[in-house]
Structure 1
Amino acid sequence: MIHSKRHGEILRLLKEEGTISIASLAGRLGVSLETVRRDVKPLGNDGSILKMHGAISLPSLAGEPPFERRMRENADTKRIIARMVAATIRDGESVMLDTGTTTSFLARELLGHRRLTVVTNSSDIARTLATVNGNKVYMAGGELRSDSGAAFGVSAIEFVSRFSVNHAIISIGAVDAVAGLMDYNLEEAEFARMVLSRGQRSLVITDHSKFGRQGLVQVCGLDGFSELATDQQPPRDIAAALAESGARLSIAVGEAGF
């Protein structure tokens, strides 16, 4: 049900972007934060949208949408996070990356690096970094998913368990103050958990839209990694839980104003 012309514009923007923050929506519509919150309330009440901490999405996106669509969601934000993280990785170091849109952006930001050793289950990341700048790329085997082109399962987990790397990096679908890191698929969660265990530095990269979401499967608690890189300060409950766990919080600032 569309209640007004502005409601229709909100739904149009959501169809284009998948998820959008309240602050960004206010700027796009040229209205105040209070007006946007008032506008989205009836859309949430009738089930037209899904409300999260500081953001809204379409109900169909409560589970993860297809990989290519997710690459377009919050793309500028993910690029800014990836650029910040890439600057912390030095030439000649080893990096393990799971499949995900933010890790795919990170792979592209690493194209300026040399002599990296990369371990991944993502064919997208492997194609991006293999055969350039003296890199060595090791890809986990197994059946490739038609959506993401990534390998999962026992063979993929066993393969990456043989490596110890400088930087073990995952992207994540949901961050909750109590449940910790969560994902929407059992095999992806199991693989991500193994990746985090293989690095001298264990890093989670995610944009702010994942804060306050509830996934299906827990990857680990907030004490299961050493650092979280994102683009905005997390909600108060998540920030407090991170501080209590001892995880370092890094917030990227870039051209988009994050």
Structure 2
Amino acid sequence: MNDKNAISDKKILNSEERQAYILEQLKIHGKVRVVDLSRDLDVSGVTIRSDLENLQKTEYLERVHGGAIQSLHQYDNMDYQERLLLRRQEKMEIAREILNYINNGDTIALNAGTTSYFVALELKNKKNLKIITNSIPVATELNMNSNIKIILLGGAINSHYSFTYGMDALNQMEKYRINKAIISVDGVDINAGITTFHQEEVDLSAKMMERAKVRIVISDYTKIGRESFVKIKDLDEVDRIITDSKADRNIVEMLKKKGAEVVCAPHF
């Protein structure tokens, strides 16, 4: 956290006020550290750890070594526009980096997610692409671009997250052979592989990867080293992982030692 987020006048806050501040920082940054919160709130590390433990009991966060990360429960309670604003800079870094691995004329499968949306914005810089997606916002954004042909997979609709899923979408995806699959995930872990919160979408994301020659996973720094609800694929079934400049370097090195190609997009 930056100093500008600190409580400048060191006002003594009660536990409810401290926890509200912690949740706000989680919403902005996706993760918090005990040492930063202790400094910002002018309380002991013991007090902060107690606050984190209490918030974990209500499923607002998940405790990790040295701090906490945003829980899936908290993320799930946000609407699409709120999630689109979260970690916008990091998602833009990933989106710009991925252009280095996309060629004019590629046929690409792109699953749903706010990081996928930012990738879609950058794909407008390429020519003669064919994009197969289950993301309604992605399809809507790219539909009027003359350089891109869009195929929106049909099926049932998850209105909260704005994507299609189900057997109709799976059967349609089975018909296509694609150059690249770009898969947005909620967790990248050495042992758990790549995982997602969305049980409805997991089979379709897996099918996109199976039909692709090159399989690229995109994930912001808060998902690196994290396991989400349901598994999509093992790490050895991924050709490249693209994350942002804030990714934990120790975890990135562990992933590389496991054999994964990990690219940390530069900050801009």
TM-score range, shorter chain: 0.7 to 0.9
Partner of 2:52: 44
Alignment partner for residue 210 of structure 1, among 196, 202, 223? 223
Partner of 1:223: 236
**Where in structure 2 are there 5+ consecutive unaligned residues?**
1-12
**Contact 2:52–2:68 (CA under 8 A) maintained in structure 1:** no
**Contact 1:172–1:182 (CA under 8 A) maintained in structure 2:** yes
Partner of 1:11: 23
* Residue type of the alignment partner of 2:242: A
**Where in structure 1 are there 5+ consecutive unaligned residues?**
none
Deviates more, 1:200-209 or 1:176-185: 176-185
Q: How does 1:179-198 map to 2 (within 5 A)?
A: 179-198=192-211
- CA distance in structure 2 between the aligned counterparts of 1:163 and 1:57, rounded to whole angstroms: 36
- CA distance in structure 1 between the aligned counterparts of 2:69 and 2:247, rounded to whole angstroms: 17
Partner of 2:3: none
Deviates more, 1:130-139 or 1:90-99: 130-139
**2:121 is aligned with 1:108:** yes
- Specify whether residues 159 and 17 from structure 1 end up closer, same or farther in structure 2 by C-alpha distance, changes over 3 A only: same
- Specify whether residues 195 and 36 from structure 1 end up closer, same or farther in structure 2 by C-alpha distance, changes over 3 A only: farther
* 1:21 CA drift (Å): 4.5
**Contact 1:152–1:188 (CA under 8 A) maintained in structure 2:** yes
Q: Between Structure 1 and Structure 2, how many residues are aligned?
A: 248
**2:148 is aligned with 1:138:** no
Q: TM-score, normalised by structure 2?
A: 0.80
Partner of 1:60: 73
Alignment partner for residue 167 of structure 1, among 176, 180, 191? 180
- Specify whether residues 144 and 18 from structure 1 end up closer, same or farther in structure 2 by C-alpha distance, changes over 3 A only: farther
Partner of 2:93: 80
* Residue type of the alignment partner of 1:100: G
- Specify whether residues 4 and 140 from structure 1 end up closer, same or farther in structure 2 by C-alpha distance, changes over 3 A only: closer
- CA distance in structure 1 between the aligned counterparts of 2:48 and 2:267, rounded to whole angstroms: 28
- Specify whether residues 37 and 157 from structure 1 end up closer, same or farther in structure 2 by C-alpha distance, changes over 3 A only: farther
- CA distance in structure 1 between the aligned counterparts of 2:191 and 2:77, rounded to whole angstroms: 21
Q: Secondary structure at the match of 1:41?
A: helix
Structure with more contact order per residue of length (Cα contacts < 8 Å, sep ≥ 6) = 1
**2:243 is aligned with 1:240:** no
**Contact 2:117–2:138 (CA under 8 A) maintained in structure 1:** yes
Residues 149-173 of structure 1: CA distance to partner in whole angstroms, max 9, x if unpaired? 2110111111112212221110001
Deviates more, 1:194-203 or 1:226-235: 226-235
Residues 7-63 of structure 1: CA distance to partner in whole angstroms, max 9, x if unpaired? 54333333x53723549x94xx7948xx89666412222235432466532573275
* 1:208 CA drift (Å): 1.0
Larger radius of gyration: 2
Q: Secondary structure at the match of 1:99?
A: coil
**Contact 1:17–1:74 (CA under 8 A) maintained in structure 2:** yes
**Contact 1:203–1:229 (CA under 8 A) maintained in structure 2:** yes
- CA distance in structure 2 between the aligned counterparts of 1:37 and 1:138, rounded to whole angstroms: 52
**Contact 1:21–1:209 (CA under 8 A) maintained in structure 2:** no
Residues 175-214 of structure 1: CA distance to partner in whole angstroms, max 9, x if unpaired? 2221111112322111111111122210000001012333
- Specify whether residues 6 and 243 from structure 1 end up closer, same or farther in structure 2 by C-alpha distance, changes over 3 A only: same
* 1:143 CA drift (Å): 1.9
* 1:117 CA drift (Å): 0.7
- CA distance in structure 1 between the aligned counterparts of 2:230 and 2:71, rounded to whole angstroms: 21
Residues 58-113 of structure 1: CA distance to partner in whole angstroms, max 9, x if unpaired? 57327574433221211111111111102321222211100111111100111222
Q: Secondary structure at the match of 2:121?
A: helix
Q: TM-score, normalised by structure 1?
A: 0.83
**Contact 1:52–1:212 (CA under 8 A) maintained in structure 2:** no
C-alpha RMSD of matched pairs (Å)? 3.0
Q: Secondary structure at the match of 1:214?
A: coil
Identity of aligned residues (%): 25
Alignment partner for residue 20 of structure 1, among 31, 36, 60? 31
